[in-house]
Structure 1
């Protein structure tokens, strides 16, 4: 109990010392404030960017591989002249895989076309068209708010039905709470609305296209109406089974089947690419790692300056209160009481600086940076306070230890 009481007494002395020298306290914590703001600010922005990218990547599929002509390039030499000679992945490749593959939960074909206008009377809006096969909702998010998803017979027969985004519904049918069953036109062709997706809002990285401005059609409908032929360059997406860790078996099966379909000999190089969304995630994580390190370096210089400033102030504080230290020790104050008194003062200084820096980052989250949603996470708050506390301990331990080792008689005589 005595130890706890003296510890709280040390806290009270430290707080009173800070309050009695407000200007000096303010100047001391500036370095720590700037440092914590730089580090936590960079961390917060990087986390927000990474979260946005991961959400966008999740929309193009999880546990999936993309079978395409061109490989996704993430560093290293990109041998475009080699890939240029490869054949396009086609609808017949998709049919061959879909009919024979055993290690997949879903096999999907899809294609995109932009620059087209959806119309209803005098209302019109630019739209991104996407043609898909039936299992598309198994590899990507199709969040239907009104209406329904495609039926197999609609996909197989290539019927003129569509799932549209919320912005398209609002623009083409203003004031209509439920335009499902209504008809709109693209290039003079009629399409019946069977479903409307939930409003998502514009994202920073809409890798698969913003669903609010997208029209999804059965692939055969899309190909015949807008690509003039079914055998067109397409993306083939295959979703693996949960028990296939790393999708190793799935990838091997795809390679074997497609090489067979294309008549490749054992000595011939595979002439298609199997791309994985997680490769993009790893590449992005590597880039963000560099940015995070830069934030640490920049912030560390400011924190270092702030730490030296706090240490200097603590030495001055010890010098100013030498007589008081002597009186306290002559009245029976233990060494740890004096040490805690000055150490807590240094930690308080650093923590206040850290809290101000974190507060500035929190204010930054209210600034509109395009479509980026900046969120200060509890993890970054704890990190900022932890770094501040450590800096306070390191900056205050030497002067506090020196004060605790003073001889009471010499301290009282000091001027």
Structure 2
């Protein structure tokens, strides 16, 4: 009980010492404030970017592979000449894979056409038109807010029906429900059967922003836009394990090589792309940003730590006489140690809290599609780093104070 009482007294002495030297205290914590602000701001930015990008990637599916002409390569030395002469995936190859694949949950053919004018009455806007087969909602999120998804019959007979994005519904059908309404895509009549939930802006609109998209059947899309040789994408949903996805990739490669008549020593004339590659490339950027935050914040915290240590040595020098009196009245060494250590930690924590508060204010800034959110984990990280800096900065001055001889300390001036 006495230990806790003396510990509390140590904390009270530390608080009084900080209050009595307010200007010195403020100047001492500036370094820690700047350091914690730099680290937590970068961490918050990285977390927000990662959340935004993952939200974007959710629209191209999880455990999905894409069969395309061009590989997803994230480097400056992209050998485009190797892929230029490759044949494009075809609808017949889609049908072949959908019939032959054993390790796939869904096989989808899709194609896109950007900036196509859609009209209803006197309203019009430019949209992204996507033609797709029935299982598209199995490989990618299609959150329906009003209406419904496609039926098998609508896809089979290429019926002119559409699922529109939130912006399309708002611009073409203001103040009314679009479900069942007939509008024009490229001059042809289409009936609205569904409206997707609003996604909002994002940094990566992979696969196109669904808010300005019109989903239609692949057959209806082909009638309008496939006058020449179509270049389609084939998306294949695997089972929810890495092993299953690896088996699927091997099966797809074997079937397509056989279909295209490739000899054993010939390289693939198609690309098998996975969203994980994009996520991995972006993850490398996050690592660099995080490291930069630690380096920038680390220098500031180092300066702040030396500042706190210097102030603590000054405090010990100023209060040497008081330390001698406390010891002569029976104060234990740990009481003196905790008194100065608490002062250093408290000083550092106040600086850390100030830095975290600045990041919190930063989260209210309008950064367009980027929504900054200060997480509890980053707050705890900031407080933890501040505490460690306070302990490291104050341990030597506190230990020095606790080892003073009471007689010599009382005589000190």
TM over 0.5: yes
Of 295, 298, 302, which aligns to 1:297?
295
1:108 counterpart SS class: strand
Residue 69 of structure 1 is matched in structure 2 by 69
Superposition deviation, residue 295 in structure 1: 0.7
Residue 318 of structure 2 is matched in structure 1 by 320
Q: Deviations over 1:181-233 (max 9, x none)?
A: 1100122111011111112222222112111111001011011112325x511
State how 1:183-222 maps to structure 2 within 5 Å.
Answer: 183-222=182-221
CA distance in 2, matches of 1:396, 1:227: 73
Residue 129 of structure 2 is matched in structure 1 by 129
Residue 387 of structure 1 is matched in structure 2 by 385
Q: Deviations over 1:107-136 (max 9, x none)?
A: 001111111111111111111100110000
Q: What's the Cα RMSD here?
A: 1.1
Superposition deviation, residue 44 in structure 1: 0.4
| TM-score under structure 1 length normalisation | 0.98
2:130 counterpart SS class: strand
More deviation, 154-163/330-339: 154-163
Q: Deviations over 1:367-398 (max 9, x none)?
A: 01111000111111111000000000000001
Residue 369 of structure 1 is matched in structure 2 by 367
2:28 counterpart SS class: helix
CA distance in 2, matches of 1:147, 1:171: 18
- 8 A contact 1:314–1:396 mirrored in 2: yes
State how 1:237-276 maps to structure 2 within 5 Å.
Answer: 237-243=235-241, 245=243, 247-276=245-274
Length, aligned pairs only: 413
1:376 counterpart SS class: coil
1:332 aligned to 2:322?
A: no
Residue 287 of structure 1 is matched in structure 2 by 285
Residue 38 of structure 1 is matched in structure 2 by 38
- 8 A contact 1:91–1:233 mirrored in 2: no
CA distance in 1, matches of 2:260, 2:382: 57
> How has the CA–CA distance of structure 1 residues 225 and 367 changed in structure 2, closer, same or farther, with 3 Å as cutoff?
same
- 8 A contact 2:103–2:244 mirrored in 1: no
Q: Deviations over 1:329-378 (max 9, x none)?
A: 00000000000000000000000000000000011000011110001111
- 8 A contact 1:74–1:283 mirrored in 2: yes
Superposition deviation, residue 244 in structure 1: 5.5
Unaligned stretches of 5+ residues in structure 1: none
Of 384, 404, 409, which aligns to 1:406?
404
- 8 A contact 1:310–1:396 mirrored in 2: yes
Which of structure 1's runs of 4+ aligned residues deviate more than 3 A? none
Q: Deviations over 1:234-289 (max 9, x none)?
A: 11100001255261110010001111111111122111010110111111111110
1:233 counterpart SS class: coil
1:395 counterpart SS class: helix
| TM-score under structure 2 length normalisation | 0.98
> How has the CA–CA distance of structure 1 residues 252 and 4 changed in structure 2, closer, same or farther, with 3 Å as cutoff?
same
